[in-house]
DNA sequence: AATGAATGAGACTTCATTCAT
DNA sequence: AATGAATGAAGTCTCATTCAT
């Protein structure tokens, strides 16, 4: 499914702590496919290979389970992302290229786009989660972008524009691509790499000094 | 045996004409706030000032009501949009500026952004609606953008890039802004006009010949 | 549909008093097909060619309508039957033959068998109607049979048996044939005339003196 | 958000085994008294001493529950009946006496007469059940009667009549008696044994050779 | 007299949650 | 720790009945 291995998954439960992860995995699948309300705790249980009661041993309610799913997937991703960016070297153009590429990969290309859609769909009912998501993912991601752009300006590579105040501009196409993949990919398949290249070409040309 | 009824309010009123629109208005509000599942037909009725039964006089089911809402709001908007673009004159830069501005205004700035969010949230359960939305809104909007960019290239105003194949790049920030307005505006208010100006500045500079 | 003509049935309502009969006709059809609960007042109205409201001008409630249907069909039939028997002449065998044949014709062969089934099906909910039906149809019919048998015994044509106390024995096959026609005729078509002949053959042979 | 539940009664009891039979018992009572539509699943639950939800644990819908009731009562009865007849010895008169008596006992005298009435009342809505009932009860019962009569003729005990083609004649009074018990017993109590003796007296005298 | 849009009580059914085992 | 039968609140939808026109 994803690279994040969960060692103790099979019937014979070789590792107890895998149980909770199995449930979260199954829950992500169900919530992604059906949405919060339409997802059935029973189906999550069946998919996770446990009984319905067991889910309530690990999570107080369906709402807590949902929150668990979001947190479970966001935290490691953000950590990874920050890690990657911290160790980057080279030109600012290379840096921002790597950052935007990372956004496409993580946001639109991985399982995380399901989380994004769930946030859009169920956000109004989970304000705590929106807070968490905003602070952990959005704000941090945008801050990184802003700083990189400011660095480019400081180094004389980029024009001075209002972009540092609106880094959403840079994020937007990737977010939209994530949504597209979920809703419209059967109508018109989207090539994420090509989209990224096109987007970045316009962006960098619009940013660089003449 | 059934419904012994109280002498009650105003029965049998002779079909006030706006009835169906009142219901669709109320339904948009409820669906936007709560989502399809969590919205209660009862609450829609209360908000529309009619009884629960009346809603089923106009719509076969909650699902048809939802579809009615989406169609009700999309069709006139798309018609307006096409109208506006058809009568435009001036440079290609002016034209694309007007188009992108229109997208920000309509998609992110108006009530239609609720429809956009509903499509993202409930799309997987309403494939017919997704088809309709894709063909009526997305495809048509992207085609217009593509043609304008191609026109700019043909006239020698724009560089030849892959952008005509990925007009999603242009749409993306507006879509994301719409989502932001719904989810994060309480965390960080978004100035749509300023965002547009910043976005367009980068875009047009990235597009124009050196 | 049946011989009982209703002169004023068409749109132009040439005869006002036909309205109520139209409704009762339609109601019998609906109640027969669906049963009391499953029958819709709306459908009765549609079938009668009037609006739903009109039905409530003639009948206080769905229950009164049902009662109206039963009374409407029973009274004339019973009157006819008594008329016929009153004027009969000839041997007691001929008389009882005519009576039993009449029962087959009216009970199993005509529209009245639908009424019979409705009484069986809905009787427990309409005790008043059951009373009425018992006194008007059952009791009177059985009394006639009893007297005829007693007459046969008195005249020396029939053996002295307990049959006058159990005239239900004579009625039974006709009642069952009526039910059969409704439930099982598609499985195995029933020839009412042949059944009558067979039944009567056994009956008269069992009754007559050796 | 849903079912905040009270600490309540006895949850999660480990599948008392008679559960399904308890429900079918209660359902027969309710359906018999009220009919299919007027019977409330809630009342069945109350009578069975379970919650409404539990019924849906055992039966998919109210219709399946109804079918379950009919099948539950018919199958064992038919089996018993066939068993009894298979082991009979003696004259054909004794045999047919036992058979007809059995019909009175089972059809009119036991709980099965409620099933009979339900079939008459609700049959048109449950064609599958009518098929089942016809093949399992009616057809089999009539075939047995027919063979017995034919046997009597072959042995020279009975006259040659059309009766083997119309065994319904023999069944009819018992069926009608069953209906009478339900509808009219409060008006005029029916003595099943006496009725049987009277009926059989006429029948056997009508059948036997002079 | 006739209409039919509107009402709202009430039914079936679902499913999150509990708890005896 | 784990199960899954049982619960019952709550939702969608139906339809007998009403009444302004």
A185 shares contact with chain B (CB less than 8 Å): no
A135 and A184 in a single domain? The answer is: yes
Cα–Cα distance between C189 and D166 in angstroms, integer? 12
Q: Which residues of B touch A201 (CB under 8 A)?
A: 161-162, 206
Closest CB to D169: pick one of C35, C166, C198.
Answer: C198
In a domain, D111, yes or no: yes
Cα–Cα distance between C140 and C186 in angstroms, integer? 32
Record: contact A120-B183, CB cut-off 8 A? yes
pLDDT value at position D57?
96
Answer whether residue C3 shows pLDDT above 70: no
Of chain D, the percentage scoring pLDDT greater than 70 comes to 89
Question: What is the helix (H) or strand (E) element at residue B62, kind and residue range?
Answer: helix B62-86
Distance from CA of A28 to the nearest CA of B (A): 15
pLDDT value at position B51?
96
In a domain, A160, yes or no: yes
pLDDT value at position D83?
75
In a domain, B69, yes or no: no
Residues in D 86-115 whose C-beta is less than 7 A from nucleic strand F are none
pLDDT value at position C126?
93
pLDDT value at position A78?
78
Record: contact D125-C35, CB cut-off 8 A? yes
**Are A15 and A8 a contacting pair, CB within 8 Å?**
yes
How many structural domains is chain D composed of? 2
Of chain D, the percentage scoring pLDDT greater than 90 comes to 67
Cα–Cα distance between A115 and C45 in angstroms, integer? 54
pLDDT value at position B15?
54
D108 and D183 in a single domain? The answer is: yes
**Are C96 and C146 a contacting pair, CB within 8 Å?**
no
Q: Which residues of B touch A117 (CB under 8 A)?
A: 120-121
Residue B130, CB-side half-sphere exposure with 13 Å CA sphere? 19
Answer whether residue D92 shows pLDDT above 70: yes
D202 shares contact with chain C (CB less than 8 Å): yes
In a domain, D67, yes or no: no
C193 shares contact with chain D (CB less than 8 Å): no
**Are D41 and D62 a contacting pair, CB within 8 Å?**
yes
Residues in B 8-47 whose C-beta is less than 7 A from nucleic strand F are 8, 10-14, 39-42
**What mean pLDDT comes out for the span C82-89?**
71
The answer to which of A183-187, C127-131, C142-146, D89-93 has the lowest mean pLDDT is D89-93
In a domain, D68, yes or no: no
What does pLDDT average to over chain C? 87
Non-local (6+) Cβ contacts of B47 within 8 A are: B26, B29, B30
C92 and C15 in a single domain? The answer is: no
C88 and C51 in a single domain? The answer is: no
Non-local (6+) Cβ contacts of A145 within 8 A are: A96, A99, A167, A170, A171
**Of C75, C174, C173, nearest in space to C129 by CA:** C75
pLDDT value at position C45?
97
Instruction: Give per-residue pLDDT as tens, D152-178.
Output: 999 999 999 999 999 999 999 999 999
Q: Indicate which of D62, D132, D136, D205 best probes the interface with C, i.e. most C CBs within 10 Å of its own CB.
A: D205
Q: Which of the four pLDDT bands, split at 50, 70 and 90, describes residue C15? A: very low
Q: Indicate which of C40, C168, C209 best probes the interface with D, i.e. most D CBs within 10 Å of its own CB.
A: C168
In a domain, A68, yes or no: no
What residues are paired with B158 via a beta bridge?
B208
Q: Which residues of A touch B31 (CB under 8 A)?
A: none
C93 shares contact with chain D (CB less than 8 Å): no
C139 and C181 in a single domain? The answer is: yes
pLDDT value at position A14?
42
* Sites in chain A below the pLDDT cut of 50: 1-15
Cα–Cα distance between D196 and D199 in angstroms, integer? 5
Cα–Cα distance between C69 and B171 in angstroms, integer? 68
Closest CB to C198: pick one of D123, D162, D177.
Answer: D162
Q: D33, D62, D91: which is the final residue of a domain?
A: D62
CA C149 → CA C93, C97, C174, distances in Å?
9, 11, 18
Question: What is the helix (H) or strand (E) element at residue B66, kind and residue range?
Answer: helix B62-86
Residues 121-160 of chain A with CB under 8 A from chain B are: 121-125, 130-131, 134, 138, 159
D183 and D136 in a single domain? The answer is: yes
pLDDT value at position B177?
97
pLDDT value at position D6?
39
Non-local (6+) Cβ contacts of D162 within 8 A are: C194, C197, C198, C201
C199 and C170 in a single domain? The answer is: yes
Answer whether residue C123 shows pLDDT above 60: yes
Q: Which of the four pLDDT bands, split at 50, 70 and 90, describes residue C60? A: very high
C138 and C191 in a single domain? The answer is: yes
Cα–Cα distance between C116 and D117 in angstroms, integer? 12
D2: left (phi over 0), alpha (psi -120 to 50) or beta: beta
* Three state DSSP letters for chain D: CCCCCCCCCCCCCCCCCCHHHHHHHHHHHHHHHHCCCCCCHHHHHHHHCCCHHHHHHHCCCHHHHHHHHHHHHHHHHHHHHHHHHHCCCCCHHHHHHHHHHHHHHHHHCCCHHHHHHHHHHHHHHCHHHHHHHHHHHHHHHHHHHHHHHHHHHHCCCECCCCHHHCCHHHHHHHHHHHHHHHHCCCCCCCCHHHHHHHHHHHHHHHHECC
The answer to which of C15-19, C103-107, D197-201 has the lowest mean pLDDT is C15-19
Nucleotide nearest to D1 (CA to C1'): E16
C193 and C93 in a single domain? The answer is: yes
Closest CB to A168: pick one of B131, B176, B210.
Answer: B176
The distance of Cα D108 from the centroid of its chain, to the nearest Å, equals: 8
Q: Which residue has the tokens 């809603």?
A: B55
pLDDT value at position B16?
62
Q: Tell me the residue range of the domain where A23 lies.
A: 3-62
**Are D208 and C208 a contacting pair, CB within 8 Å?**
no
Record: contact D121-C119, CB cut-off 8 A? no
Nucleotide nearest to D20 (CA to C1'): F5
Q: Which residues of C touch D173 (CB under 8 A)?
A: 168-169, 171-173
Record: contact B125-A194, CB cut-off 8 A? no
B173 shares contact with chain A (CB less than 8 Å): yes
Interface size C-D, in CB pairs within 8 Å, comes to: 168
Q: Which residue has the tokens 């990224």?
A: A196
- Helices D168-183 & C112-122 angle (0-180, nearest 10): 50
Nearest residue to nucleotide E11, by CA–C1' distance, is: D40
In a domain, A69, yes or no: no
pLDDT tens for chain B, 210 residues long, are 333 334 344 555 555 667 899 999 999 999 999 999 999 999 999 999 999 999 999 999 999 999 999 999 888 877 777 776 667 678 899 999 999 998 999 888 878 899 999 999 999 889 999 999 999 888 888 998 999 999 999 999 999 999 999 999 999 999 999 999 999 999 999 999 999 999 999 999 999 976
Chain B, nearest residue to A181 by Cα: B120
Burial B35-68 (b: 16+ CB within 10 A, else e): bbbbbebebbbeebebeeebbeebbeebeebbbb
pLDDT value at position C152?
93
Residue B40 CA distance to nucleotide F11 C1' (Å): 8
B36 and B97 in a single domain? The answer is: no
Nucleotide nearest to C11 (CA to C1'): E2
Distance from CA of D50 to the nearest CA of C (A): 26
Instruction: Give per-residue pLDDT as tens, B127-178.
Output: 999 999 999 888 888 998 999 999 999 999 999 999 999 999 999 999 999 9
**Are B117 and A122 a contacting pair, CB within 8 Å?**
no
3-class secondary-structure state, position A38: coil
C187 shares contact with chain D (CB less than 8 Å): yes
The length of chain D in residues reads: 210
Q: What is the CATH number of the domain that holds B144?
A: 1.10.357.10
At residue D183's C-alpha, the angle toward residues D180 and D185, to 5°, is: 65
Q: Which of the four pLDDT bands, split at 50, 70 and 90, describes residue D137? A: confident
**What mean pLDDT comes out for the span C97-117?**
88
B80 and B32 in a single domain? The answer is: no
pLDDT value at position C85?
67
D104 and D198 in a single domain? The answer is: yes
What DSSP designation does B39 have? S
Instruction: Give per-residue pLDDT as tens, C172-209.
Output: 999 999 999 999 999 999 999 999 999 999 999 999 97
In a domain, C67, yes or no: no
Cα–Cα distance between D174 and B88 in angstroms, integer? 89
Nucleotide nearest to B40 (CA to C1'): F11
Answer whether residue D8 shows pLDDT above 70: no
**What mean pLDDT comes out for the span C148-156?**
93
Interface size A-B, in CB pairs within 8 Å, comes to: 170
Closest CB to A134: pick one of B125, B172, B184.
Answer: B184
Q: Indicate which of B29, B30, B33, B35 best probes the interface with A, i.e. most A CBs within 10 Å of its own CB.
A: B35
Q: Are C and A touching by the rule of 3+ CB pairs within 8 Å?
A: no
Residue B6 CA distance to nucleotide E11 C1' (Å): 20
Q: What is the CATH number of the domain that holds C16?
A: 1.10.10.60
Alpha helical stretches, state H, A2-91:
18-34, 41-48, 52-58, 62-86
Cα–Cα distance between D34 and C31 in angstroms, integer? 16
């Amino acid at each position: 499914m994803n690279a994040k291995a969960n060692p103790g998954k099979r019937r014979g439960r070789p590792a107890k702590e895998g149980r909770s992860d199995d449930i979260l995995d199954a829950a992500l699948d169900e919530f992604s496919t059906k949405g919060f309300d339409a997802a059935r705790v029973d189906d999550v249980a069946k998919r996770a290979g446990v009984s319905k009661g067991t889910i309530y041993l690990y999570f107080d309610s369906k709402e807590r389970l949902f929150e668990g799913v979001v947190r479970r997937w966001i935290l490691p991703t953000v950590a990874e992302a920050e890690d990657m960016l911290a160790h980057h070297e080279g030109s600012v153009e290379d840096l921002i290229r790597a950052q935007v590429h990372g956004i496409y990969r993580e946001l639109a290309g991985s399982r995380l786009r399901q989380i994004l859609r769930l946030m859009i769909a169920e956000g109004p009912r989970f304000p705590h989660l929106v807070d968490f998501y905003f602070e952990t993912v959005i704000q941090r991601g945008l801050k990184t972008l802003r700083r990189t752009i400011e660095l480019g300006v400081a180094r004389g590579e980029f024009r001075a524009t209002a972009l540092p105040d609106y880094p959403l501009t840079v994020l937007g196409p990737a977010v939209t691509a994530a949504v597209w993949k979920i809703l419209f990919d059967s109508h018109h398949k989207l090539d994420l790499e090509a989209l990224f290249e096109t987007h970045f070409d316009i962006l960098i040309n619009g940013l660089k000094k003449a």
